Amino acid sequence: MAQKSDPQPPSLAGSRDPKSGNLKTAAKSACCPLKKAVFLDRDGTINHDVGYLSQWENFRWIDGVPDALAQLKKAGFALVVITNQSGVARGYYTSQEVQTLHRKIDTDLLQRAEIKLDGWYYCTHHPDLAPCSCRKPSPELLLKAAKDLGLALSASFMIGDKSLDIMAGLNAGVQGSLLVLTGYGQGDQSKVPPGTPVFPDLPAAAAFILNKTIDLSAAITG
């Protein structure tokens, strides 16, 4: 009998289950709604594609990109770069050099446009010799960023200059995947799915996203 009363506290303790787990989850979702994002390809989209870029000295912004990124940021979009860097697997440069370059780009963007990017995600693998699960057109890095940063994919966009960028966005379930004609864009225009929005460059794509966002909020208000 005494033994039966003993097991009771543990069964009451069963109400521990919601204690930490459930409360924590509720608090988290209440405090931090998912953010919308613009996922950005790097080479040929934000900077001129010089082929296996690794040195800051060779980095050049495409005209108008820092300001366009600042406008997107101001409109509430997280900005996340998703880039294939097989130059690492090919032995052209190291992962450390990729990170050093990205920190220099961050510093320059802060000086030019007073904004910070929200994340850099890159695949270092060789597409043929060491196939991986993270190289675009895989959505894996977008999905990882969404999880890490609390992003709402269905409210987000992808901008890139290759069909593999467009496909990575679509595979991740973004609202829109936009092709820019800088970099490899002109050559890849025939490879993207019909109906893919095409823009001369990132500033034009950003303007489209900003107008669309304004239109959507106007529709909600009306």
Footprint of Zn ion (CB under 5 A): 123, 125, 132, 134-135
Query: What residues from 35 to 94 belong to the interface with Mg ion (CB under 5 A)?
Result: 41, 43-44
Which x/- pattern over 132-171 shows residues binding Mg ion (rule: CB under 5 A)? -----------------------------x----------
Judged by CB under 5 A, does residue 118 bind Mg ion? no
Q: Which of 6, 17, 41, 148 is catalytic?
A: 41
Q: How far is the CB of 221 from Mg ion (least distance, A)?
A: 37
Both structure tokens of 27 = 């608090």
Cα–Cα distance, 153 to 147 (Å, whole number): 10
CA atoms within 13 A on the CB side of 117: 26
Give the Cα separation of 130 and 110 in Å (integer).
36
Q: Please identify, using beta-carbon distances, which residue of 192 and 213 lies nearer to Mg ion.
A: 192
Calpha distance 206→45 (Å, rounded) = 12
Q: What SS3 class is residue 122?
A: strand
Peptide bond into 137 cis (omega under 30): yes
The two three-digit tokens of residue 217, written as one number: 């909020």
Catalytic (active site) residue 118: no
Q: Is 201 in the site for Mg ion (CB under 5 A)?
A: no
Residues 174-193 within binding reach of Mg ion (CB under 5 A): 183
SS3 (DSSP) at 43: strand
**Residue 42 CB, nearest distance to Mg ion (Å)?**
6
Q: Could you say which of Mg ion, Zn ion, none residue 123 binds, taking C-beta under 5 to 8 angstroms by partner kind?
A: Zn ion
Report the C-alpha gap between 20 and 6 in whole angstroms: 24
* Closest distance of CB 70 from Zn ion, Å: 30
67 counts as catalytic = no
3-state helix, strand, coil in the chain (%, to 5): 50, 15, 35
| Choice between 132 and 152, CB closer to Zn ion | 132
Active-site residue among 43, 118, 161, 165? 43
Catalytic residue ranges:
41, 43
